Amino acid sequence: MTSKSIYQHGSPNRTGVLLINLGTPDAPTAQALRPYLKEFLSNPRVIEIPKLIWWPILHGFILPFRPKASAEKYAKIWMPEGSPLKVHTERQTKLLRDELHRRLQNPPIVEYAMNIGKPSVATVLSKMQEQGCERILIIPLFPQYAASSTAAAMDNVFTVLSHMRNLPAIRTVKQYHDHPGYIAALAQNVRDYWEVNGRPDKLIISFHGTPRASLDKGDPYHCACQKTGRLLAEALALDTNQYSVCFQSRFGKAKWLTPYTATTVMQLGKEQTQRVDVVCPGFVSDCLETLEEIAMEVKDTFTQAGGKEFHYIPCLNERGDWIQALADIACTHLQGWLETPVTEEAAKLSRKLALELGASN
């Protein structure tokens, strides 16, 4: 526990909102990828294999070779401003901050952190505490709860809090996979794309995959993805034969959630399907998995198998309707916290009385 107390009597009690995304390397280089992958793949929430078995694999086979290959993939999608995931998360944070300032008389401080990489959860929580945040709402940017994503982010938050002496009050958002505003934004995003580019023969609704064992152990992620997919298809008025819910990013030899996106698309290609579109509702920001894995690798799988036309539909990113939905989610969970701020006069009086009673600061 830290021995330093940053609490000062008479300070205004602020409210904060902290968005948390997965994270990203600092640069598209093997040197930057190695510590990023090491931290990511060392998390027991992400890799549920006993350390005695996993550690030799990670350090002997994955970390010596995978950083270079991953860096080459990141280099293909890197933006002039940096990693797409970080760029979009920064923009979303600013837009949410502006929207809450527009809506609320006493708006919260809005920041973002990365569960892996920079800015770290520890750094941002410390910054928010220094800004006087006595109440913080945590919103992981993962619409569908999974132990490997949402719970891993929450673990990080509470580990950081365990080293603080003066804890803020904490509220958390578990998931918003079926939030009406989120579903409406997803559907309008697809409609907008189709209005410009036409419609496909098949829409693939692809989510990040997790090991099948996680579902067997009680992880609700699979069910949340299925519900998001169903609600999106209903909003688009699609028949069951016009779309498929699939899972991407399989890693290792164990069975993962099925059907696999790549396998499904390959079969559609073999059937010489004229056009396939893929949308990824599990990501609110475009990133390596959408821009490289889906838009490049899966596209190649489809066309090489005999498919004709492949389209990747971008994530929500900075869409106005998505920011509105995110603000709705935040406001719902902030109820009762956005009290009238303490005036400067009241703060001075409170501090004066505290010092008279023996407070040191």
- Cα 279 to Cα 294: distance, rounded to the nearest angstrom: 9
pTM (predicted TM-score): 0.91
Distance, CA of 215 to CA of 211 (rounded, Å):
7
Non-local (6+) Cβ contacts of 122 within 8 A are: 160
In the chain, the amino acid numbered 326 is L
Taking the CB of residue 216, how many other CB atoms lie within 10 A of it?
8
Q: Provide mean pLDDT across the span 282-287.
A: 98
Q: How far is CA 95 from CA 98, 102, 173, 325, in A?
A: 5, 11, 19, 12
Rounded to 5 degrees, what angle do the CA atoms 191, 331, 327 make?
30
- pLDDT > 70? residue 361: no
- Is the separation of the CB atoms in 76 and 296 below 8 Å? yes
Q: Is 170 helix (H, G, I), strand (E, B) or coil?
A: strand
For range 205-225, the mean pLDDT: 96
Helix (H) or strand (E) holding 166: none
**Chain segment 161-175, per-residue pLDDT in tens:** 999 999 999 999 999
N- to C-terminal Cα distance for the chain?
A: 20
Write out the DSSP string of 92-123: HHHHHHHHHHHH-SSPPEEEEEEEESSSBHHH
Give the pLDDT confidence of 94-126 residue by residue, as tens digits: 999 999 999 999 999 999 999 999 999 999 999
Determine phi and psi for 38, rounding to 5 degrees: -60, -45
Question: Both tokens of residue 96?
Answer: 């949410």
Helix then strand count (H, E) for the chain reads 14, 8
Closest CA to 17 of 360, 326, 254: 326
pLDDT digits 0-9 by tens, 179-202: 999 999 999 999 999 999 999 999
Pairing of strands 169-172, 133-140: parallel
Confidence at 3, pLDDT banded by 50, 70, 90? very low
The residue-averaged pLDDT of 146-157 equals 97
Q: Which positions ≥6 away from 157 have C-beta within 8 Å?
A: 18, 20, 121, 125, 138, 170, 172
pLDDT in tens, 265-279: 999 999 999 999 999
Is 332's pLDDT higher than 50?
yes
Q: 94-116 b/e with 16+ CB inside 10 Å = b?
A: ebbbebbeeeeeebbbbbbbbbb
